[in-house]
Amino acid sequence: MSNSLLILPGDGIGPEVMTEVKRVIDWLGANKGVHFDVSEDLVGGAAYDAHGTPLHDDTMAKAQEVDAVLLGAVGGPKYDNLDFSVKPERGLLRLRKEMDLFANLRPAQCFDALAEASSLKHDVVAGLDIMIVRELTSGVYFGEPRGIHTEGNERVGINTQRYTTSEIQRVARSAFELAKKRGGKVCSMEKANVMESGILWREETQKIGDDEYPEVELTHMYADNGAMQLVRQPKQFDVIVTDNLFGDILSDIAAMLTGSLGMLPSASLGLPMANGRPKAMYEPVHGSAPDITGQGIANPIACILSFAMALRYSFDMGETADLVENAVNAALADGLRTPDLMTVEGGTKVGTTQMTDAILAKMSEA
């Protein structure tokens, strides 16, 4: 079976970190005989500059064809005043929606060498390994009605939180399946105390747990309490499952537990395609970081680890994924730090390219 990959570097530091991923891909080709059919295209502001739309229809069609999409980042101050319908973020949301990537996996793992880089105490985060499963194709991000209109002399902004049973059930199943292979625990987060959609979320998740996954321990938490518990005692969690908006917020919190947003990968998975592989897109959790763009100092690790997730979840190459992840760990253990990780004394400050040099060297030694 061939392995096709569509790379969408996007904006800001997206192209910089993607350049490093391409080096990892080339290394695997040269040293492990693992080959990918790589194509590349535009998304976000870069696509808007070229085509007047943040995602060209041809790019969307290509994304539907490949085994996996790898996306860098979208957005930047240059595009802040664009009409909402053509903002860079719309390109990303279209990919998620049209590929029906309902399960967004955001692992937050604290690498030993970085336990000091977290803003939390060492003991609170050392050894942390949690997985946030965020629903990605529904909820307030896509619900109708939405928009801004005028009522008398007031303007009114509207968005709608809407979930159906099947939308909740399928993402709940993804979370339970992951929990079975991990610590055996799922914590579901919503606001059932104030939102009907939260009540439905809680009931449907419980039903799936009772009927299909009695061996997994299921608990429920209000999302605000969940946010607090994530910084108080994050190691109490194994898998967290939550809706689109709460998942967006809670995963940023979880990211900081690991030391830097520059460390966190993600996988967005949909239904299996004809070849049995799931529809999939992989992207770092961090954004386009306009403040550091073009300086060669962006941390490439989140994007490299996103590619490692592609190896694991799309291409069934768990051992190759381990090789990449262990190399990242080893480079960090040697004290190499991009500036975002230099929050504690010690360590050797390196740029984007040097960090990848070190990771590739560790892969060669392994």
* Degrees, nearest 5: CA angle 118-123-126: 65
Rg (CA), the chain: 20
Residue 92 binding: pick among ligand IPM, Mg ion, none (C-beta 5-8 Å cut-off by kind): ligand IPM
Q: Is residue 189 within 8 Å of 241, Cβ to Cβ?
A: yes
Closer CB to ligand IPM, 124 or 140, in the complex: 140
Is residue 252 annotated as part of the catalytic site, yes or no?
Answer: yes
* Smallest distance, Mg ion to C-beta of residue 187, A: 20
Q: Is residue 230 within 8 Å of 274, Cβ to Cβ?
A: no
CA–CA gap between residue 328 and residue 18 (Å, rounded): 16
Catalytic member of 252, 322, 334, 357: 252
Residue 167 binding: pick among Mg ion, ligand IPM, none (C-beta 5-8 Å cut-off by kind): none
Is residue 213 annotated as part of the catalytic site, yes or no?
Answer: no
* Smallest distance, ligand IPM to C-beta of residue 176, A: 23
Closer CB to ligand IPM, 223 or 330, in the complex: 223
**Residue 161 burial (CB count, 10 A):** 18
Residue 252 exposed, middle or buried by CB count within 10 Å (0-12, 13-18, 19+): middle
Q: What are phi and psi of 348, to 5 degrees?
A: -105, 120
Distance from the Cα of residue 245 to its chain's centroid: 14
* Smallest distance, Mg ion to C-beta of residue 249, A: 8
* Smallest distance, ligand IPM to C-beta of residue 136, A: 8
Catalytic member of 57, 210, 224, 316: 224
Which of 361-364's residues contact partners 24+ apart within 8 Å by CB, and which partners?
361/331, 362/326, 362/327, 362/328, 362/330, 362/331, 363/24, 363/27, 363/31, 363/323, 363/324, 363/327, 364/31
Catalytic member of 238, 243, 248, 340: 248
* Smallest distance, Mg ion to C-beta of residue 246, A: 11
The residue sitting closest to ligand IPM, measured at its beta carbon, is 89
Is residue 210 annotated as part of the catalytic site, yes or no?
Answer: no
Per CB under 6 A, residues contacting ligand IPM are 89, 92, 248
Catalytic member of 191, 213, 340, 362: 191
Residue 89 binding: pick among ligand IPM, Mg ion, none (C-beta 5-8 Å cut-off by kind): ligand IPM
Is residue 48 annotated as part of the catalytic site, yes or no?
Answer: no
Per CB under 5 A, residues contacting Mg ion are 248
Residues identified as active-site: 141, 191, 224, 248, 252
